[in-house]
Amino acid sequence: MIEAVGLTKRYGDKTAVYNLSFQVRPGAVTGFLGPNGSGKSTTMRMILGLDNPTTGQVTIGGYPYRKLPNAPRQVGALLDAKAVHGGRHARNHLLCLAQLSGIPARRVDEVLGVVGLQDVAKKRSKGFSLGMGQRLGIAAALLGDPQVLLFDEPVNGLDPEGILWVRNLMKALAAEGRTVFVSSHLMSEMALTADHLIVIGRGQLLADMSIKDFISANSADFARVRTPDTEPQLREKLSSALTEAGGHVLPEQDGGLRVTGLPLPRISDIAHDTDVRLWELSPHQASLEEAYMRMTQGAVDYRSTIDQKAGLQQPMPPGAQPPMPVPGQGQPGWYAPPPPQQGGQPFAPPVPQGQPVQPMQPPASPYGAPAGPGAGAPNPYAAQAPAAPPAAPAAPASDLTKPEDAR
Amino acid sequence: MAAIQVVRSEWTKIRSVASTVWTLSLAVVVTIALGMLISALSKNEFDKMSRSDQLSFDPTFISFAGMSLGQLAMIVFGVLVVSNEYSTGMIRTSLAAVPQRATFLVSKIAVATGLSLVVGLATSFVAFFLGQAMLGSHKASIGDTGVLRAVIGGGLYMTLIAMFSMGVAAMLRSPMLSLGILMPFFFLVSNILGNVSATKKIGRYLPDQAGSKIMQVVTPVDDSTPYGPWGGLGIMTLWVVAALAGGYVLLKKRDA
């Protein structure tokens, strides 16, 4: 059990963490999320007694870390995979950590086997790849068979086999009743691993809830409906019929419709009654990534801007289209719809001209994860007829009615 | 946590990096080789020396002449032992495993000091005997008054230099910064201050100037140094204590 109460850390006049209170319970994997620079690593360092909180305190099992009896047998941590002396070989690195807490050398060979580094045990760690460094760091965390484990970005640099292994390892550790606290930026990975989430932004707590609650609180499930692209009037017709029936309809960039507030069979019935053919009617569950993006978009410190390539622009070959901006660059307008209860404005006014509309080039998911509904996945059924572009591109999020430069 | 465990761990750390072997061997080789060379040269020059120089000829001190360079390798050793932790980030792993920072620092310095002492004493004795062998008829014997004290003192001097560097490195954390301050200081600044008559009175209280007094057996004719061999070593020890205390205070309150 890790417990933070009113944790605050200031570096000079910069507040890295402000009044953070949370509990990390045993028996579950707790994900620790937040944008770059939001204070995750600072919080982890304070948990481990490396940094002193300006005010507030954080305890493990009731003790501040520095007072914890035989700390390395109770807490294992991976903070930074590269924080090893490159000239020391892997086994000696673990051996000197093991000796600190009276762990026999036998255990070093055990954990080397567990993380799959037994063949490079006598190699200097400066030749290690990032993934091998992560494995070594995880081995160090496991050394003392601790009840509390902290991992800062453990899957960074791991191969797919390693990612799967870490995921199963975390779950197994939690299933044994241990406390597992993991930070990561890989949302798809978190969605698979974590049971509970603590989300911070700009050093403050944004959410502390189960992953299921987090997704439903921050993003609504919806149905995607697609009418024949060849007949745009059917789309208008269905939109008004669905709205009349109490649903919220949101046009998507690629010509589909997002419908919330109506169950799928009801949408089908309405379409039938209004004599509109459907090319697609599919349920979509919001992903953790979308829910996270919605929650943290106001707390992102480092946001990419559009690359103007001043002076680097090649003359365009005749007939070429200007490139489409990468989603998320300078315009956070592609997130999942807001949950209806949050006073979202589903009928966002059409974005004025000037925003490029290219129906057949759906924006890719920024993390290369399987494109979620918010990212406008390419629709295989629409591939044959790209003729009619949608009347107006969608601005799904409620607060996007402001002009872009206002944020 | 038993301190003995931390000491064992620090021993594993120190023996498992190449820099330990390199810096210490360099200190041994340079001190001994340069001492032998200068001893051999001094033997040939002896007859051309002035009367007062012949009177204050100190064969023991001459055989330690290599220490002015050899100590630089000891400084590198002391700096690297401590600052390696910071430059690699290992300090966070170490302090997460040993939250008691006093135990951590004391163990680390104890292990490195023990190793320096063994190496320093061995170097001092070998440098003395080989240097005397080079001096031929002008040599001193280990049984002469003050000679054994000077030889053991040479080992202590090397150890204290390494300890002082550890303290400075614990304060400054960066190996480059620590070496950038310590190397020119001991190689140039201290010598200049100690040899220019205007600053001599201050210069002789610097750690290396004061400490090297322990290696003198014959006092120079016009010597006005207000402290004796052990007094000098005491002054050096005070410097070391100050550096280590500074390092500890900063480690204790600083974020790792």
| Residue B87: other Cβ atoms inside 10 A | 15
Separation between Cα atoms, residue A179 and residue A170, nearest integer Å: 10
A299: its two tokens: 């707390």
Q: How far is B224 from chain A (nearest CA, A)?
A: 48
A225: its two tokens: 């409906």
Q: What is the pLDDT of residues B81-114, one digit of tens each?
A: 999 999 998 999 899 888 889 999 999 999 999 9
Count of residues in chain A: 407
Q: What is the pLDDT of residues B26-52, one digit of tens each?
A: 999 999 999 999 999 988 888 888 887
Tell me what the mean pLDDT of segment B181-203 comes to: 86
Angle between helices A232-244 and A264-273 (to 10 degrees): 120
Number of domains in chain B: 1
For residue B157, give the nearest of B192, B205, B194, B123 by alpha carbon: B123
Separation between Cα atoms, residue B38 and residue B256, nearest integer Å: 46
What pLDDT, on a 0 to 100 scale, did the predictor assign at position A135?
93
What pLDDT, on a 0 to 100 scale, did the predictor assign at position A136?
93
Q: What is the pLDDT of residues A204-223, one digit of tens each?
A: 999 999 988 888 777 777 88
Q: Are B130 and B139 in contact (CB under 8 A)?
A: no
What pLDDT, on a 0 to 100 scale, did the predictor assign at position A70?
84
Q: Are A8 and A154 in contact (CB under 8 A)?
A: no
Interface residue B252 vs chain A (CB under 8 A): no
Residue B66 CB-half CA count within 13 A: 30
- List the single best residue of B8, B12, B85, B254 to mutate versus A (max A Cβ within 10 A): B12
> How far apart are the two ends of chain B, measured CA to CA in Å?
20
The dihedral built from the CA positions of residue A365, A369, A371 and A374, taken in this order, carries a sign that is negative
Letter for the amino acid at B141?
A: S
**What does the angle CA B203 – CA B207 – CA B209 come to, to the nearest 5 degrees?**
50
What pLDDT, on a 0 to 100 scale, did the predictor assign at position B149?
94
- Under DSSP, is residue A221 helix (H, G, I), strand (E, B) or coil? coil
Q: Which residue of A has its CA nearest to B18?
A: A87
Give the range among A286-295, A359-368, B99-108, B161-170 with minimum mean pLDDT. Answer: A359-368
Domain around B68: 3-253
Q: How far is B164 from chain A (nearest CA, A)?
A: 23
Q: Are A358 and A294 in contact (CB under 8 A)?
A: no
Residues with Cβ within 8 Å of residue B39, at least 6 apart in sequence: B59, B62, B63, B65, B130, B131, B132, B134, B135
Query: What are the beta bridge partners of residue A55?
Result: A8
Separation between Cα atoms, residue B4 and residue B215, nearest integer Å: 34
What pLDDT, on a 0 to 100 scale, did the predictor assign at position B21?
92
This prediction's pTM: 0.77
For residue A134, give the nearest of A172, A82, A99, A63 by alpha carbon: A82
Q: How confident is the model at residue A297 (pLDDT cuts 50, 70, 90)?
A: confident
pLDDT surpasses 70 at A331: no
Angle between helices A90-100 and A130-142 (to 10 degrees): 20
- List the single best residue of A58, A66, A100, A101 to mutate versus B (max B Cβ within 10 A): A100
Separation between Cα atoms, residue A258 and residue A284, nearest integer Å: 9
Interface residue A5 vs chain B (CB under 8 A): no
What pLDDT, on a 0 to 100 scale, did the predictor assign at position A375?
41
More confident residue, A157 or A176: A176
User: Buried b vs exposed e over B152-177: b needs ≥16 C-beta within 10 Å?
Assistant: bbbbbbbbbbbbbbbbbbbbbbebee
What pLDDT, on a 0 to 100 scale, did the predictor assign at position B3?
83
Q: How far is A1 from chain B (nearest CA, A)?
A: 17
Q: Which residue of A has its CA nearest to B255?
A: A51
Separation between Cα atoms, residue B30 and residue B123, nearest integer Å: 10
A62: its two tokens: 């009731």
- Under DSSP, is residue A152 helix (H, G, I), strand (E, B) or coil? strand
Q: How confident is the model at residue A76 (pLDDT cuts 50, 70, 90)?
A: very high
Q: Which residues of A touch B12 (CB under 8 A)?
A: 92, 95-96, 99
Q: How confident is the model at residue A263 (pLDDT cuts 50, 70, 90)?
A: confident
Tell me what the mean pLDDT of segment B167-196 comes to: 91
